[in-house]
Amino acid sequence: MVDVTNKQTMVRTAVATGKISVNQEVYQAIEHGTVEKGDVLGVAATAGIMAAKKTSELISMCHILSLSNCRIQFERDSEKREIYCTCTVKTAAKTGVEMEALTGVSIALLTIYDMCKALDKHMVIEEIYLLNKTGGKTDFNYSESHKNEK
């Protein structure tokens, strides 16, 4: 574990994203609220928030952080049958919340998979990555860091 004793407490944010691709049956079931296990996106949002709060219990070298905010949002693309998840986390601490945002997205998407696996065993979770972070020594923005690669 990194010693953050001498670091300054400051407001830190992180935003992570990812997606899950599903078949038409799953997409429609989520859209119409007919998945047997319940409200898929509502349960997934709750699971993502709970996971972000417990990141230090899941990832051994993470610091225990008190989160001041955590939000899970979903966007759907009916043509591609994809559900995009974004997790935004905020705290005032001596270390960042990147792992909490990434954990929130991961668990939210895994929850969708779990709730829908009876309908589709070929769902694909992919493209989980950090969009941006603020606070600490350096800020990070995925779009800015990848401008020259395209």
Helix extents (H) in the chain: 24-32, 40-53, 55-58, 98-116, 142-145
Position 150 in a domain: no
- pLDDT score at 147: 62
Q: How confident is the model at residue 149 (pLDDT cuts 50, 70, 90)?
A: low
Does this model's pTM top 0.75? My answer is yes
Element at 72 (helix H, strand E): strand 69-77
Count of the separate structural domains present in the chain? 1
Q: Mind telling me the catalytic residues?
A: 114
Tell me which residue of 73, 81, 74, 108 sits closest to 27, measured CA to CA. Answer: 81
Tens of pLDDT along 18-68? 999 999 999 999 999 999 999 999 999 999 999 999 999 999 999 999 999
Rounded average pLDDT over 121-148: 87
- Name the residue range of residue 71's domain: 10-137
Tell me which residue of 83, 82, 86 sits closest to 72, measured CA to CA. Answer: 86
Token digits of residue 35: 């998945």
CATH of the domain at 35: 3.30.70.640
Tell me which residue of 44, 43, 28 sits closest to 120, measured CA to CA. Answer: 28
- pLDDT score at 148: 57
Position 146 in a domain: no
